[in-house]
Structure 1
Amino acid sequence: MMRRRVRVLGRVQGVFFRYECSRQAEARGVAGWVRNRHDGTVEAVFEGQEAAVEAMVAWTGHGPSGARVERVDQTQERIEGLTGFRIIA
């Protein structure tokens, strides 16, 4: 099990990034959350099996078809034991 926090920079708001991120995470059995930040970036936390979390981090590198990801910053964090995946408004 592992936990990663990512901040995604680029054209990532207003392109269904959060919705699609949630769908991708649920399909992989990854827990956590995703939200838009006031600075125009998207932030997400992923917890789960290492391969599934790594797949989510990789997915954020391109996002949904309308996104234009410029950079993904990531940090590894201590697992909190989250369950489910949610979109934070």
Structure 2
Amino acid sequence: MRICARHAASTTLTLRKPLGRPTKVRRKEPDEPQTTTKLTKKGVEMKCSKCKKLGHDKKSYRGEVTRCKVGVHNQVVAPTHQETTPT
């Protein structure tokens, strides 16, 4: 079976953009050297933002949880001015 030139272009495969999020880095072949430039967290101590102590963070904090009332910390008290009338 013979295909004419104008139909040959429509039967060729076209590359499509892959769906989803692109890969973070290129997958390396087994014979390529692996990069070892990743920084470690060795020597970094975690500090809790709730109790300000070292060794844990606020996610693993086991102390008492205090909650403030809604609106109390956002209230602005306007100063009262009493005008004195000269008598």
Same fold by TM (over 0.5)? no
Q: Normalising to structure 2: TM-score of the pair?
A: 0.16
Structure in which a larger fraction of residues adopt helix: 1
Q: Normalising to structure 1: TM-score of the pair?
A: 0.16
Point out which structure has higher relative CO (alpha carbons under 8 A, 6+ apart).
1
